[in-house]
Each structure stands twice: as C-alpha cells, then as structure tokens.
C-alpha cells in the first residue's frame, strides 16, 4: 500500500466518523424534539422582548473579520406550584439569525402577551415557548449520511 493510499484511508475514516457523528446528532435532536411535545405546560407572560446584536471578531494572520448576528431574546415569567420563575429559553436550542428573521421572532412575543410555557416535568429548568421537531435534525442526518456515503465510496475505490 502506498503512502498516498494510507492518507486517503485516514481521510476516509475521519470523514466517515464525522458523518456518523452528524447522524447521531440528528437522531438526538429528533428525539429531544419528540420528547418535548409531551412536556407539561402552564400559562406565562412575556416580560422582555428585544433583538440583541452579537458580534464575533476573529483575527487570522493580518485579517480581522467581524461577524454580526442577531438573537431574539424573549424573557417570560410563569408560576409552577408556589414558585414564580423567569426564563429566556425560546426553543430547544438558542439560535442567532439575520436581523429581519430575529425581528420577526420578537414580533410574535410582545411584552405583556400571554404565552404557553412548556416545561420538562422531570427537570423544571428545561423550559421553552416553542417545542417539537424542526428541520435541523434532517439537515444533520442528510449531511452525515452523505459524508458516510462519500467515505464508503472512497474506501471502495482505493480498496
């Protein structure tokens, strides 16, 4: 086996493992989304709703790059038993958006609006206003499966 074949096999292995990792992540996101549909719910009220700008500066060699993204921050208050709680978790994961999309999310949750707050009965720290399954799991799965397929094809062509 030549040294270039060994390099290709190593790259193939890494590609395949990363693809499997992405498929696993997709499965985990899907499972979490399905489980969240069974969470208990209570009524809450929006207490804060703004778009927050996030800047990330990276420097590489002599190039400085600034990435700007926008996060819809929605704070809400609700009562569980005798305890009044305040949370900011909008969905199952925090996301940043382009400004128009972040503004669209914030407009759905004006201050004072009554909202349904979902919470995990097994862990009251896990709350969200938006639960269920989105599209991110499918993206993870498709990209991961594509990488695994590419790794298998590469392995077969040098095999």
Residue 122, by phi and psi: left (phi above 0), alpha (psi -120 to 50) or beta? alpha
Q: Are residues 87 and 117 in the same domain?
A: yes
CA distances from 134 to 1, 43, 92 (A): 46, 23, 10
Q: Do 155 and 81 reside in the same domain of the chain? A: no
Query: What domain range includes position 95?
Result: 39-131
- Co-location of 154 and 144 in the same domain: yes
pTM over 0.95: no
Pair 78, 122 in one domain: yes
Q: What is the pLDDT of residues 15-58, one digit of tens each?
A: 888 988 988 888 887 787 778 788 989 999 999 999 999 888 88
Q: How many domains does the chain have?
A: 2
Residues 141 and 112 in one domain: no
Asked whether residue 31 falls in the same domain as residue 47, the answer is no
Together in a domain, 30 and 49 = no
Cβ count within 10 A of residue 153: 10
140/137 Cα distance (integer angstroms): 5
Report angle CA 66, 107, 37 to the nearest 5 degrees.
Answer: 95
The band of 1, judged by pLDDT with boundaries at 50, 70 and 90, is: low
Which tokens hold the place of 45? 């009220």
Q: Is 107 found in the same domain as 69?
A: yes
pLDDT in tens, 69-91: 898 999 999 999 899 999 998 87
Structure token digits, residue 42: 């209570």
């Amino acid at each position: 086996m030549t040294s270039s074949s060994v390099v290709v096999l190593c790259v193939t292995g890494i590609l395949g493992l990363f693809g499997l990792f992405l498929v696993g992540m997709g499965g985990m996101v899907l499972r979490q989304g399905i489980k969240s549909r069974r969470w208990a719910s209570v009524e809450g009220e929006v207490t804060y709703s703004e778009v927050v700008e996030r800047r990330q500066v990276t420097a590489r060699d002599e190039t400085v790059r600034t990435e700007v993204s926008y996060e819809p921050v929605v704070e809400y208050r609700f009562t569980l038993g005798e305890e009044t709680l305040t949370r900011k978790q909008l969905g199952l994961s925090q996301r940043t958006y382009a400004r128009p999309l972040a503004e669209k999310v914030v407009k759905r949750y004006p201050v004072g609006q009554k909202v349904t707050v979902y919470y995990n009965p097994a862990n009251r720290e896990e709350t969200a206003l938006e639960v269920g399954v989105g599209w991110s799991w499918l993206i993870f799965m498709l990209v991961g499966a594509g990488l695994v397929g590419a790794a298998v094809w590469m392995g077969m062509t040098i095999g």
